[in-house]
């Protein structure tokens, strides 16, 4: 059964439109509270957020709705998404709520839920919340109204957790690292983790004002980080997105190292240490070069649909522990329950230190196949994928590639976009064919 409000990654959109309003968030908090208020004793739910200005407004609305349903609330303040998953688990809360639109600009916001195990909610729970959203809202008797308090030591707890995922016998002493926090949720915690493990840290993107989250910085815009790494002759650059679950890196030569390459490096390091259990899960967007490089190491590789939810599902199905997306959303299930940018960065740094190799050398074992992607923005939720002219254009490009590459068109799960991707041997041909396909999609919007 399809969902009315929840997408592949919670509920997300433009602030003030559709579901992203205070009124809806009030009702959502109440609905979630009704679902989770069962069981012995009064239940508690954690709420955390990134740094976008609308987060405070939605935090208050969710808090009121949860209290009306009789659920106690622990406020975490600005925290990375994976930190909320971790704290939900360690506090034995019945759920955790994240107020964030991840890598999107500040005009957007959204809601994600974690279960008591620190994992994404199963479909049946999301359906149950949606059922309550369509019912009249009531309030429990006054003596049962939920109470709210702020968790004062949330930051320190998460920093210690992250440090615990780095091998105790290793240190970052002598390493110069530039960290770009995208003016987002990692701004006060990310640099501290690397500093406490011994690195010299130069911070960027750590002055959030509510409006500058992801603005020309972070994992979606690493150009400033590349420049800074070269200027400071740093060993490495690390860039997170607004809510801290994605990661890209920059090597000492100023080259961006994306999620596919980082996944390869982590898998290679774990294999050499004897810690790799099973294979690696990527997505339909993962570069074919990753698949080939892992095959050369004798590591199995499988592709899931795009989205960390589907990566997690395939990892569970195969009982594997490592997966991720080219965007930098990497899941290390031997360390935590969800994608975590800081934890993923520490796994890469551990390989660098253990093998005494720079990032540029570590990634050289994987040769990326030229890949071009163009995002075509849609004015509404129309079915572009089923358009006959688009399908014809896809067949034409596939014929041109003649087995030398692949084509992928897919709607974004978080934005009104169609992602057009072409992969092949010749970068000029790949770029030409990708533009050709993108034009075919754009022509359906006229």
Please check whether residues 301 and 362 belong to one and the same domain.
Answer: yes
The CATH number of the domain holding residue 115 is 3.40.120.10
Q: What is the pTM of this model?
A: 0.90
Confirm whether 348 is domain-assigned: no
Q: Which of 67, 100, 102, 115 is catalytic?
A: 102
Residue 224's domain comprises: 174-256
| pLDDT score for 1 | 67
Residue 432 lies in a domain: yes
Q: Of 208, 230, 256, which residue sits at a domain end?
A: 256
Whether residues 38 and 147 fall in one domain: yes
Q: Is residue 3 part of a domain?
A: no
Note whether 309 and 439 are same-domain residues: no
Residue 407 and residue 364 share a domain: no
417-423 and 95-99 as β-strands: parallel, antiparallel, unpaired? unpaired
Tens digits of residue pLDDT in 245-296: 999 999 999 999 999 999 999 999 999 999 999 999 999 989 988 998 999 9
Q: How many whole angstroms from its chain centre is CA 193?
A: 19
Q: Is residue 204 part of a domain?
A: yes
* pLDDT digit string (tens) for the chain, length 446 residues: 688 999 878 999 999 999 999 999 999 999 999 999 887 778 999 999 999 999 999 999 999 999 999 999 999 999 999 999 999 999 999 999 999 999 999 999 999 999 999 999 999 999 999 999 999 999 999 999 999 999 999 999 999 999 999 999 999 999 999 999 999 999 999 999 999 999 999 999 999 999 999 999 999 999 999 999 999 999 999 999 999 999 999 999 999 999 999 999 999 999 999 999 999 999 998 998 899 899 999 999 999 998 888 999 999 999 999 999 999 999 999 999 999 999 999 999 999 999 999 999 999 999 999 989 999 998 876 678 888 889 999 999 999 888 778 899 988 766 788 999 999 889 999 999 999 999 999 988 87
For residues 376 and 405, membership in a common domain is answered with: yes
- Whether residues 247 and 139 fall in one domain: no
Please identify which residue in the block is written with the tokens 């989250």: 213
Helix (H) or strand (E) segment spanning residue 411? strand 406-411
Angle at 214 (CA atoms; ends 210, 216), nearest 5 degrees: 120
CA atoms within 13 A on the CB side of 326: 19
CA end-to-end span of the chain:
33
| 364: annotated active-site residue | no
Same domain, 337 and 298: yes
Q: Which residue has the tokens 């615990």?
A: 164
Compute the chain's Rg from CA coordinates. Answer: 22
**130, 24: one domain:** yes
Residues 6+ apart with CB under 8 A from 151: 46, 74, 75, 76, 87
**Which of 231, 256, 281 is a domain's end point?**
256
Residues in the chain: 446
- Say if strands 406-411 and 417-423 run parallel, antiparallel, or are unpaired: antiparallel
CATH of the domain at 435: 3.30.310.50
Domain check: are 202 and 289 in the same one?
no
Per the domain annotation, does 163 fall within a domain? no
Do 317 and 389 lie in one domain? The reply is: no
Write down the pLDDT at residue 381.
Answer: 64
| Burial class (CB within 10 angstroms; exposed 0-12, middle 13-18, buried 19+) of 85 | buried
pLDDT tens figures, 108-167: 999 999 999 999 999 999 999 999 999 999 999 999 999 999 999 999 999 999 999 999
- Rounding to the nearest 10 degrees, give the CA dihedral for residues 215, 218, 219, 224: 90
- Cβ burial of 58 (10 Å; 0-12, 13-18, 19+) is buried
**Does residue 336 fall inside a structural domain?**
yes
Q: Give the count of domains, the chain.
A: 4
Based on the fold, state whether residues 136 and 228 are members of the same structural domain: no
Residue 4 included in any domain: no
Instruction: Please tell me whether residues 191 and 285 are part of one structural domain.
Output: no
Give every CB contact of residue 288 below 8 A, 6+ residues apart in sequence: 369, 406, 423
- Residue at a domain's end among 256, 287, 312: 256
Does residue 351 lie in a domain region?
Answer: no
The answer for residues whose C-beta is within 8 angstroms of residue 5's C-beta and 6 or more apart is 11, 19, 130, 133
Give strand ranges (E) for 299-365. 301-304, 322-324, 330-332
């Amino acid at each position: 059964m399809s969902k009315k409000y929840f997408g592949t990654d919670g509920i997300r959109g433009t602030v003030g439109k559709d579901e992203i309003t205070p009124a809806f968030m009030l009702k959502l908090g109440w609905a979630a509270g009704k679902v989770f208020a069962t069981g012995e004793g009064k239940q508690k739910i954690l709420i955390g957020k990134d740094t976008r200005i609308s987060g405070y407004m939605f935090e208050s609305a969710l808090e009121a709705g949860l209290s009306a349903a009789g659920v106690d609330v622990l406020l975490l303040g600005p925290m990375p998404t994976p930190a909320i998953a971790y704290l939900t688990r360690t506090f034995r809360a019945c759920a955790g709520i994240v107020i964030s639109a991840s890598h999107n600009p500040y005009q957007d916001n959204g809601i994600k839920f974690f279960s008591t195990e620190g994992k994404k909610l199963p479909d049946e729970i999301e359906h149950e919340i949606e059922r309550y959203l369509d019912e009249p809202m009531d309030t429990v008797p006054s003596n049962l109204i939920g109470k709210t308090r702020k968790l004062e030591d949330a930051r320190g707890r998460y920093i210690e957790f992250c440090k615990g995922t780095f091998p105790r016998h290793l240190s970052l002493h002598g390493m110069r690292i530039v960290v770009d926090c995208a003016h987002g949720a990692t701004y006060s915690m990310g640099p501290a983790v690397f500093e406490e493990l011994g690195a010299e840290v130069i911070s960027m993107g750590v002055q959030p004002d509510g409006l500058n989250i992801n603005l020309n910085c972070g994992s979606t815009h690493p150009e400033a980080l590349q420049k800074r790494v070269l200027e400071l002759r740093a060993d490495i650059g690390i860039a997170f997105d607004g809510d801290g679950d994605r990661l890209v890196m920059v090597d000492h030569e100023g080259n961006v190292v994306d999620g596919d390459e980082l996944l390869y490096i982590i898998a290679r390091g774990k294999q050499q240490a004897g810690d790799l259990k099973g294979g690696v899960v990527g997505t339909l967007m993962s570069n074919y070069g990753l698949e080939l490089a892992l095959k050369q190491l004798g590591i199995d590789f499988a592709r899931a649909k795009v989205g960390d939810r589907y990566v997690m599902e395939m990892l569970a199905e195969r009982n594997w522990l490592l997966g991720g997306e080219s965007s930098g959303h990497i899941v290390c299930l031997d360390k935590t329950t969800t994608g975590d940018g800081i934890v993923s960065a520490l796994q890469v740094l551990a390989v660098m230190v253990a093998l005494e190799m720079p990032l540029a050398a570590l990634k050289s074992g994987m040769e990326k196949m030229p890949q071009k992607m163009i995002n075509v923005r849609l004015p509404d939720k129309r079915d572009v994928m089923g358009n006959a002219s688009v399908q014809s254009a896809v067949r034409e490009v596939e014929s041109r590639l003649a087995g030398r590459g692949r084509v992928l068109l897919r709607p974004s799960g978080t934005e009104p976009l169609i992602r057009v991707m072409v992969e092949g041997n010749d970068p000029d041909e790949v770029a030409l064919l990708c533009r050709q396909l993108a034009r075919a999609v754009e022509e359906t919007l006229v």
